[in-house]
A and B are shown apart, each in its own frame.
Chain A
Amino acid sequence: MALCIIGCGNVDRGDDAAGPLVARRLQRFGAQTPGVEIMEQSGESFALMDCWLGCEHVIVADATAPRGTPGQIRVWNADGDKLPEDVFPCSTHAFGVREAVELARAMNRLPPTLMIYGIEGKQFSFGEPLSPEVERSVESVAQQLFELVRTTTGPAQTARNRA
């Protein structure tokens, strides 16, 4: 697979839904095209590492821990950036996105390119909706990634899928 976009999180836990909702918006936009895989994952490390096995380019979208600026979007390039320990504690799994990236790095199993889009969450309670700030950022990240897919696969293909 040329490009794999993975939305991580739990849709039932407030802003932890940010990652999966990015993935769902991309599906709705028609971003899943030949060579582009869009998927949802819980964020559990081993499963994530399995998902990106054999992928050339991987993008992970996930909620990040509250730091007083809900909705803030931050992007890491795993090739150069070590993921900070205190940013991805949101998963229900102590072994989550950061650990997947760092474990893959330690084992030489990182894909050729891996970008992580983090959307800062505000609240993560069961059953709560997205915070308005996070909802806006979900839309923004989805648009950015859709543009990226269009430039990768060509506008005609994505337009056909969208139709």
Chain B
Amino acid sequence: MSKQSTRTIKIDTLARVEGEGALYVKVKGDEVQDVKLKIYEPPRFFEALLRGRHFSEVPDLVARICGICPIAYQMSAVHAIECALGVEIDPSVRLLRRLFYCGEWIESHTLHVYMLHAPDFLGYPDAIAMARDHQAIVQQGLRLKKAGNRIVALMGGREIHPVSAAVGGFYKAPSKSALRELVDELTWALDASLATACWVSGLDFPDFEQDYEFVSLSHPDEYPFNEGRIVSNRGLDIAASEYEDNFTEQHVEHSNALHSVLRGRGSYMVGPMARFNLNFDKLPEVAQQAARDCGLQVPCRNPFRSIVVRAIELVFACHEALRVIREYEPPPIPRAQVTARVSTGQAATEAPRGLLYHRYGIDPAGLISSAKIVPPTSQNQKRIEEDLWHFVAQVASRPIEEITWKCEQAVRNYDPCISCATHFLKLHVERD
């Protein structure tokens, strides 16, 4: 093939990405000429749907935005509305919310590490093919995910579309004995998470690092879930109420999903790697040691190593769930009294895939007058494209099948939840 020949790579359906998207890469010789991650977005259905609904309905409605991270949507929503209405929550409710989030992180990270990302590294087209050769590993992943499911089912009242989270707390708080029933399985899950970290740290990682601006929540005392300031490794340090002063969403022609950028600075990364790099000292010793044993350095700038970082966050989530269960005392009242008033509130929490920002305006009757939701995948999308510009240049001379594989793997570094980011599912794909 001529050095200057032009090759176009179109991946019309990105497999093992939540929802669907399409990727377009154009290479001339060893030079990347164009990269477009295409996402298709109808009108922002949920933001419009929420307007006119009572604030108490919001947690249940937003839980339906994403089947993988309903709790993240619930948590950002309740915190934003509580901020608007000046609600103080009970310390036990705060603990329960951390436990709830642990369950979702365990579910989501396990699915991604074992089923979506590991096959890339091991040379399998998918987890089904991987399972034929690695049954014990996949069995471990199944059981680990189930440990997360059990937390979510107990806390959420059911396994899908959890309904227990409320503005002010929970409709019903679990008993101590109900939580203690989770201990044995979570103790196993902690060990399994450590084994997971050890396993994935031995995978073969492309030599690829970028100079990222990492953005995540930061809390003075703990690894962040529900609270904290929004910080970056380049000096950003703001409250959630200042989010829209510092970040903006740009429309790009090739994608209907909006690209979030830091005003005047450009792309940034949210998610496990950002959290890990900005909050390493808040991880419990067992997770810090696991990270050191895995050879992870802070900051980690190789996005392919995000699979190891997710495994470290699995260790953290299992350890944190056990801590919460040990310390838990049921709250005297599971849900604080909440009174409507004209107000606006913002909150950001850490979804498995990264920072999830919500803002709500509330009218005197307690009805939602405005809503804004910025999911993590919207925030990472520009950064994913920039990674691809640089990464494709490294592999441009390889056979087209290999470039395609590597590009998909690079996109999956971010575990993009395209159905959240676009609120849409593309169902009919024409392949060239």
| B-binding residues in A (CB < 8 A) | 10, 12-13, 16, 40-47, 49-50, 65-66, 89-95, 99, 102-103, 106-107, 121, 124-127
* A94 contacts B146, C-beta separation under 8 Å: no
* A42 contacts B128, C-beta separation under 8 Å: no
Q: How large is the interface on B (under 10, 10 to 19, 20 to 34, 35 or more residues)?
A: 35 or more
* B423 contacts A95, C-beta separation under 8 Å: no
* B424 contacts A126, C-beta separation under 8 Å: yes
Kindly identify which residue among A42, A47, A90, A106 contacts B425, using a CB–CB cutoff of 8 Å: A90
Contacts of A13 in B (CB 8 A): 425
Instruction: Find the A residue at minimum CB distance from B135.
Output: A107
* B67 contacts A10, C-beta separation under 8 Å: yes
What per-residue 1/0 map shows which CB atoms of B284-316 lie under 8 Å from chain A?
A: 000000000000000000000000000000000
Sample of 20 further A-B pairs with CB below 8 A, known A10-B64, A47-B149, A107-B131: A10-B67, A41-B160, A46-B115, A50-B142, A50-B146, A66-B427, A89-B20, A92-B19, A92-B68, A92-B425, A93-B18, A94-B18, A94-B19, A94-B20, A94-B116, A95-B115, A99-B128, A103-B128, A124-B427, A126-B424
How far apart are the CA atoms of A84 and B12 in the complex, in Å? 18
Contacts of B425 in A (CB 8 A): 13, 16, 90, 92, 124
Instruction: Find the A residue at minimum CB distance from B18.
Output: A94
* A94 contacts B16, C-beta separation under 8 Å: yes
Q: Which of B42-50, B93-101, B180-188, B208-216 contacts A (4 or more CB under 8 A)?
A: B42-50
How far apart are the CA atoms of A127 and B146 in the complex, in Å? 30
Instruction: Find the B residue at minimum CB distance from A50.
Output: B146
* A66 contacts B146, C-beta separation under 8 Å: no
Q: Indicate whether A95 sits within 8 Å of B111 (C-beta atoms), given known contacts A50-B146, A103-B128.
A: yes
* A103 contacts B13, C-beta separation under 8 Å: no
Q: How many pairs, one residue from A and one from B, have CB atoms within 8 Å of each other in the complex?
A: 94
Residue of A12, A44, A93, A126 most packed against chain B (CB within 10 A): A126
Kindly identify which residue among B127, B146, B149, B161 contacts A95, using a CB–CB cutoff of 8 Å: B127
* A47 contacts B159, C-beta separation under 8 Å: yes
What per-residue 1/0 map shows which CB atoms of B328-364 lie under 8 Å from chain A?
A: 0000000000000000000000000000000000000
Q: Measured between C-beta atoms, what is the minimum distance from A2 to chain B in Å?
A: 22
Contacts of B423 in A (CB 8 A): 126
* A103 contacts B131, C-beta separation under 8 Å: yes
Q: Measured between C-beta atoms, what is the minimum distance from B256 to chain A in Å?
A: 13
How far apart are the CA atoms of A15 and B17 in the complex, in Å? 21
List B residues 32-88 near A (Cβ within 8 Å): 42, 45-46, 49, 64, 66-68
How far apart are the CA atoms of A16 and B19 in the complex, in Å? 13
| 13 pairs, A vs B, C-beta closer than 8 Å | A13-B425, A42-B67, A44-B68, A44-B111, A47-B159, A50-B146, A65-B427, A66-B427, A92-B19, A92-B425, A93-B67, A99-B126, A125-B424
B218 is an interface residue with CB less than 8 A from chain A:
no
* A92 contacts B135, C-beta separation under 8 Å: no
* B132 contacts A106, C-beta separation under 8 Å: yes
B419 is an interface residue with CB less than 8 A from chain A:
yes
Contacts of A65 in B (CB 8 A): 427-428
B139 is an interface residue with CB less than 8 A from chain A:
yes
Q: Measured between C-beta atoms, what is the minimum distance from B153 to chain A in Å?
A: 10
* A106 contacts B128, C-beta separation under 8 Å: yes
Instruction: Find the B residue at minimum CB distance from A40.
Output: B160
How far apart are the CA atoms of A66 and B429 in the complex, in Å? 10
B15 is an interface residue with CB less than 8 A from chain A:
yes
B393 is an interface residue with CB less than 8 A from chain A:
no
How far apart are the CA atoms of A52 and B67 in the complex, in Å? 20
Residue of A40, A92, A99 most packed against chain B (CB within 10 A): A92
In the A-B complex, list the 10 residue pairs whose CB atoms are closest, starting with the nearest.
A126-B45, A106-B131, A42-B67, A92-B419, A102-B128, A42-B160, A92-B67, A46-B145, A106-B132, A94-B16
